[in-house]
Amino acid sequence: MNAITHEDRPAVEVRDLACRYGSFTAVDGISFTIASGELFALLGTNGAGKTTTVETAVGLRRPAAGTVHVQGRDPWRHRRELAGRVAVIGQETGFADDLTVRETLRLWTDLHRLPAREELIERVDLAHRAGVRVAALSGGERRRLDLALALSTDPAVLFADEPTTGLDPASRRRTWALLRELTERGTAVLLTTHYLDEAAELADHVAIMDRGRIARFGTVEEITSSHEARITVGPKPFDPLDLPVLAGRTAVADGRLTVRTTELQADLHRLLDWAARTGVDLGDLRAGPATLDEIFAELETAPAS
């Protein structure tokens, strides 16, 4: 009989995980796995339970129920053992304020008995801040330093809790390139983010959390295609009674017509045909699958299940 080794298991396995703060259930029975080289994005409303999930996966919290395994090990019991293989970019950084950027990286690589990696300072775009004390860094610069430390360890698993929050667009793109580089080298990445374009750009799989549960899971395309497509036109003074018969549901708000439909092409054809016959200028016309933003907004207004 062949034994199942740690290497045969996914890099991260979360099964029926529940986390509580006192009597409040912040994470309510979620499951997912992340393979080596995969980027898994956790999205969700504020307070959905993303950070609690990450903190549990890195061994800072003990699950109230269910299990977490990282590299086949329980992070609560084997945090030290995992420390060399797991990197964390958290919402709180634990840097010494008195050290400079260069000294922080050097201390970090010395502590981990790694070769010096000065070039990482440039790669996270902090070369001009290398001699500046951590206390004087902006929030975005601290996140980039966090990323340099994570990259220096060549981790098997990276937990990145909102790593691009507060970064300007150019720094965000640079961070994306570095995250991609990590997955190409085989690192499993758990990314939490509020930026839906970021998930669409980077993630192999996405889970949308809502009130402690995973409300949607799949590739971005699978999630968007399971929702009705949208056609929007206007702003124009539409009278809903003048509109042609469409398969989708129509709504007019602030002069904009929105059609939610499972028959995108046919309804678009009907609408354009009607506009041509009646001489109506549709103005700004957009048509396509539901965006993650729209799916998110619908979840936020949906009643708790």
Ligand X SMILES: Nc1ncnc2c1ncn2[C@@H]1O[C@H](COP(=O)(O)OP(=O)(O)OP(=O)(O)O)[C@@H](O)[C@H]1O
Looking only at residues 210 through 249 of this chain, which bind ligand X when binding is defined by CB under 6 A? none
In whole angstroms, what is the distance from residue 205 CA to residue 199 CA? Answer: 9
Looking only at residues 148 through 187 of this chain, which bind ligand X when binding is defined by CB under 6 A? none
Q: Of 155 and 212, which has the nearer Cβ to ligand X?
A: 212
Q: Of 49 and 90, which has the nearer Cβ to ligand X?
A: 49
Looking only at residues 101 through 140 of this chain, which bind ligand X when binding is defined by CB under 6 A? none
Q: Of 40 and 238, which has the nearer Cβ to ligand X?
A: 40
From the CB of 62, what's the least distance to ligand X, in Å? Answer: 13
Q: Of 51 and 261, which has the nearer Cβ to ligand X?
A: 51
Site for ligand X (CB under 6 A): how many residues?
Answer: 11
Q: Of 59 and 248, which has the nearer Cβ to ligand X?
A: 59
Looking only at residues 13 through 72 of this chain, which bind ligand X when binding is defined by CB under 6 A? 21, 24, 26, 44, 46-52
CB 170 within 8 A of CB 143: no
Q: Of 34 and 105, which has the nearer Cβ to ligand X?
A: 34
From the CB of 13, what's the least distance to ligand X, in Å? Answer: 20
From the CB of 241, what's the least distance to ligand X, in Å? Answer: 43
CB 37 within 8 A of CB 186: yes
Q: Of 49 and 155, which has the nearer Cβ to ligand X?
A: 49
The dihedral built from the CA positions of residue 73, 74, 79 and 85, taken in this order, carries a sign that is: positive
In whole angstroms, what is the distance from residue 172 CA to residue 30 CA? Answer: 29
CB 68 within 8 A of CB 74: yes
Other beta carbons within 10 Å of 248:
21
From the CB of 26, what's the least distance to ligand X, in Å? Answer: 3
From the CB of 151, what's the least distance to ligand X, in Å? Answer: 24
Q: Of 52 and 171, which has the nearer Cβ to ligand X?
A: 52
From the CB of 140, what's the least distance to ligand X, in Å? Answer: 17
Query: Residue 110 class from Cβ within 10 Å (0-12 exposed, 13-18 middle, 19+ buried)?
Result: exposed
From the CB of 52, what's the least distance to ligand X, in Å? Answer: 3
From the CB of 30, what's the least distance to ligand X, in Å? Answer: 11
Report how far apart, in Å, the C-alpha atoms of 46 and of each of 51, 86, 137, 212 are: 10, 26, 26, 11
Q: Under the rule (CB under 6 A), what is the footprint of ligand X?
A: 21, 24, 26, 44, 46-52
